[in-house]
Amino acid sequence: MERVPILKIGEILLVSIQLDMSDQTALQLQEDLAERIVATGCHGVIIDITALDIVDSFVGRMLSSIASISKVLDAETVVVGMRPAVAITLVELGLSLNGIRTALNVERGMELVADARADEFPYDDELADGSDDDPETTSSP
């Protein structure tokens, strides 16, 4: 059975999906990702789908499910590299990627993870260094 590799880059886990996913591969990926999130303490998962010609309801569900699992484990999921044709087909099919953030490429995805993190935990820095910055400026989008 094929396994999709998970690459750790700084605080982020990067998954590049290049194969047509079977049920088995998809389940294995979810399991592997959950384990890696816990093992590494990463706060972001970036899924690259540049190689996919088609995102059908199966792949859509898989992405949603990965996003939900990651969320529970305190990690943001961002899907990057969607082709224009894929986006058009998704809308035509009426598939919505529930709870999934998207970005144009890996670099923007990384920024999105960092921003989402900053929005969610505006007092992180304050707690960490005990400084008394105005929370308003940190938490407003």
DSSP 120: H
How does DSSP assign 56-118, residue by residue? -HHHHHHHHHHHHHHHHTT-EEEEE---HHHHHHHHHTT---TT-EEESSHHHHHHHHHHHHH
22 near a second copy (CB under 8 A) = no
82 near a second copy (CB under 8 A) = no
| Strand order through the sheet with 12-16 | 6-9, 12-16, 44-48, 76-80, 101-103
5 near a second copy (CB under 8 A) = yes
For a second copy, which residue of 27, 38, 51, 88 counts as binding (CB under 8 A)?
51
Residue nearer to a second copy on the CB measure, 50 or 65: 50
25 near a second copy (CB under 8 A) = no
**CB of residue 7 to a second copy, shortest distance in Å:** 5
Q: How many residues bind a second copy, per CB under 8 A?
A: 20
* Contact set with a second copy (CB under 8 A): 2-5, 7-10, 14, 16, 18-19, 48, 50-51, 81, 105-107, 110
